[in-house]
Amino acid sequence: MSEIERQSMDVDIVCVGFGPAMGGFLTTLTRGLVDHEGAPVVESAVMPGMPPQVICYERADDIGAGVSGVVSSARGIRESFPDLDASMLPMCAEVADEKVVYLLDPQGASRRQDLLDFKDTMIRTFGKRLSFCKDEAVELPYIPPFLRKEPGLVFSIGQFNQWVGSEVMGSGLAQIWPGMPVSKVLLENGRVAGVRLVDQGVDKKGEPEAGYMPGMDIKAALTVIGDGPVGPVGRDLDDFATMPGGHHRRDWALGMKMVVDLPESCTLPEGFVLHTFGYPEPDIFGFLYVLPGRVASLGIFVPSWLDIPVRTAYRYMQHWVTHPYLWKHLKGGTMRSWGAKSLLESGRRGEPRLAGDGYARIGECSGTTNVLTGSGVDEAWTSGVILAEGVLELMKAGKPFTRDNLKQAYVARRRASRLEEEARVAEKSRDGFGKGFIQGLLGMALTGFSNGKINMPGDHRRPHERIPTIEETYATQIPSEELRAMREECQARGEALHDAIMDRIGWPKIEYDGKLLISHQDALLLGGKVQAPSGFADHVVFVDHDTCRACREKICIEMCSGQAITTNPEGGVPLFDREKCVHCGACLWNCSKPHPTDPEKSNVEFRAGAGGLHSAEN
């Protein structure tokens, strides 16, 4: 079918992705498009006489399909909603109590630097006597101000997005269309002229089948991109606009989490916020937030600097949950839902070009996440608000959305904002983790207490430069012959290697209780709705098949959050099953081989696609 038969629609502003960033943008924009009597203050260029036509496309089948219970200072959100009260939002509470806890390794199976091992021995020896070490954990007596969230909110991002979305839709001044993935930006004469929606009625490879429906072209004077950490539209644009010099996205984390009905015996109060480090690996961070109704949102972050090729967030999360410090609260609880999602943790260093002719970027894809304070929601929201203020200014002045105008109205505003000031402080705060866990913690403290003036020097190698081979990783623990036999056995059974290796190096088996501790496959069924509507192309694509054939780590299989990437019994390119993919995007980051033409990318492409695991509680 020729391009000519593609349908086209004209709007004034087209938006990609509905997360907190777009929530902030559309909330502010729609309020500013009318005066206090509800009369439009600017006119649509495509529908004269009407207010500007604003449309937002969201990939997921629901606008509340975010993945995470979050804690947030909510400063920007509260500036937008000065009367906001936790009781107005479902699953939301004021932060009541905060704890940061160092977890010792009760199993002795994690990879710890010698210095850390020594420190743990000291804690065990003296801590128990002086009673500051209980349940294999040490509660920090003091939480640095840069980590504190009080007075903030804990809430479910899915519920929050739904609430904001219904307010925006209720204004009648913007439309939000879920279940509509955007394929890419439209480029015309060197400017962004809108977006193209994905083709439907195609096979896995994107070839037309019966019922082929080419994705529509949506033409707009302004395209706003807020497609999150692994958004393919923003990434596509980076190829065209190129990243600013020295900027890259080599730091990320995979967040795996669940929503849990707490057992009757649990005494943790509503609004309680817990952050942990030290276990199941020293540099895996954990979080637990208590929401109203005896429900907790909890999970772990597996960071980019965890140089273990056999990394399974799911099993790590189960070991974390069963750590004595947590298990005493969680034993007897029931999993309500489960999910996973990536975080882009490069912060300001991962910032792309924020605006160009006809487009602007907001939210996590624009580098808003603050890696010192560990917060992303409010920063994403605030970036959307700042853009909307600039856009309203340009519209009211009748100025076009050129690069120069957007730089003045948006980028300059953002540079002068609290968002930028805090992002600059945070920029190098986690650099030390690239060198080691202790260096990482020291680095965060140095940055935090010096307000960004002193930082630990960093190491930002790309995954293919830093992830060791499986043989190198376990050289002192598993003889090479045995490792080879384990590989062959797992390969023959079509299984990933991680369980066999974790069992072998001393991690205890997880004893399933059928409620909170269940198999990965059961979690997939229980987690929410896994959507994989037919007629869409596969969104996870292995770029160079020869590279995959030669790849020994096959980390894409080891870390896949949904067990959607599996061993090919014939030994070659891994297999991908769209019906199990939860759209976490972790395969894009974790693949340990470079893209054939761009060393900043991996050999996995994460394209626009429908589906994923959706639970509005997340």
Q: Omega of the bond prior to 280 within 30 degrees of 0, cis?
A: yes
Q: Cβ 258 to ligand FAD, closest distance in Å?
A: 10
- Rounded Cα distance between 312 and 302, Å, is 9
Residue type, 490: C
- Closer by beta carbon to ligand SF4, 73 or else 592: 592
Backbone angles phi, psi at 357, to 5 degrees: -60, 110
Q: Quickly tell me which residue has 């961070």 as its tokens.
A: 285
Q: Cβ 304 to ligand FAD, closest distance in Å?
A: 14
- Closer by beta carbon to ligand SF4, 230 or else 290: 230
470 binds ligand SF4 (CB under 6 A): no
Task: Provide CB contacts within 8 A for 310, sequence distance 6+.
Answer: 470, 473, 497, 498, 501, 502, 555, 558
Which window, 208-216, 310-318, 426-434, 545-553, contacts ligand SF4 (CB under 6 A)?
Answer: 545-553
The binder of ligand SF4 chosen from 383, 561, 566, 615 (CB under 6 A): 561
Instruction: Say whether 292 sits in a helix, a strand or coil.
Output: coil
Residue 253 has which token pair?
Answer: 């984390």
DSSP 208-269: EEEEEEPPPEEEEEEEEE---TT-HHHHHHHHHH-PPTT-----EEEEEEEEEEPPTT--PP
Which window, 10-18, 257-265, 407-415, 552-560, contacts ligand SF4 (CB under 6 A)?
Answer: 552-560
Residue 483 has which token pair?
Answer: 């490792």
231 binds ligand FAD (CB under 6 A): yes
- Closer by beta carbon to ligand FAD, 116 or else 425: 425
- Sheet with 92-94, edge to edge strand ranges: 69-72, 153-156, 92-94
539 binds ligand FAD (CB under 6 A): no
Q: Quickly tell me which residue has 């290697």 as its tokens.
A: 497
Q: Cβ 292 to ligand FAD, closest distance in Å?
A: 17
Residue 331 has which token pair?
Answer: 């034993």
The binder of ligand SF4 chosen from 153, 256, 302, 548 (CB under 6 A): 548
Instruction: Say whether 193 sits in a helix, a strand or coil.
Output: strand
What character string, x for contact with ligand FAD (CB under 6 A) and - otherwise, covers 149-168?
--------x-----------
58 binds ligand FAD (CB under 6 A): yes
516 binds ligand SF4 (CB under 6 A): no
SS3 string, 32-94, reads HCECCCCCECCCCCCCCCCCCCEEEECCCCCCCCCCCEEEECCHHHHHHCCCCCHHHCCCEEE
436 binds ligand SF4 (CB under 6 A): no
Partner that binds at residue 574, options ligand FAD, ligand SF4, none, CB closer than 5 to 8 Å by kind = ligand SF4
The binder of ligand FAD chosen from 26, 29, 55, 67 (CB under 6 A): 67
Which window, 118-126, 242-250, 435-443, 555-563, contacts ligand SF4 (CB under 6 A)?
Answer: 555-563
Partner that binds at residue 565, options ligand SF4, ligand FAD, none, CB closer than 5 to 8 Å by kind = ligand SF4
Residue 505's CB is within 10 A of a number of other CB atoms, namely 17
19 binds ligand FAD (CB under 6 A): yes
Angle between helices 114-122 and 437-449 (to 10 degrees): 80
- Closer by beta carbon to ligand FAD, 71 or else 284: 71
Q: Is 569 exposed, middle or buried (0-12, 13-18, 19+ CB in 10 A)?
A: exposed
Burial annotation 363-401 (CB, 10 A radius, 16+ → b, else e): bbbbbbbbbbbbbbbbbbbbbbbbbbbbbbbbbeeeeeb
Partner that binds at residue 255, options ligand SF4, ligand FAD, none, CB closer than 5 to 8 Å by kind = ligand FAD
Pair 286, 329: CB distance under 8 Å: no
Please give the residues from 472 up to 501 whose contact with ligand FAD meets the rule CB under 6 A. none
Which window, 70-78, 166-174, 316-324, 493-501, contacts ligand FAD (CB under 6 A)?
Answer: 70-78
565 binds ligand SF4 (CB under 6 A): yes
Strand bridging mode 359-361 / 217-225: parallel
Interface size with ligand FAD, residues (CB under 6 A): 41
- Closer by beta carbon to ligand FAD, 133 or else 174: 174
Pair 19, 161: CB distance under 8 Å: yes
Which window, 81-89, 242-250, 418-426, 547-555, contacts ligand SF4 (CB under 6 A)?
Answer: 547-555
Beta bridge partners of 301: 255, 285
The binder of ligand SF4 chosen from 440, 542, 567, 601 (CB under 6 A): 542
Partner that binds at residue 584, options ligand FAD, ligand SF4, none, CB closer than 5 to 8 Å by kind = ligand SF4
Please give the residues from 577 up to 606 whose contact with ligand SF4 meets the rule CB under 6 A. 581-587, 591-593, 603-604
Which window, 218-226, 330-338, 401-409, 560-568, contacts ligand SF4 (CB under 6 A)?
Answer: 560-568
The binder of ligand FAD chosen from 13, 18, 280, 560 (CB under 6 A): 18
Q: Omega of the bond prior to 596 within 30 degrees of 0, cis?
A: no
Residue 413 has which token pair?
Answer: 């505003």
Binding residues vs ligand FAD (CB under 6 A)? 16-22, 57-60, 66-68, 70-72, 157, 181-182, 226-229, 231-233, 255, 257, 299, 341, 343, 363-364, 369, 375-378, 380, 608
Binding residues vs ligand SF4 (CB under 6 A)? 540, 542, 547-548, 551, 553-556, 560-562, 564-565, 574, 581-587, 591-593, 603-604
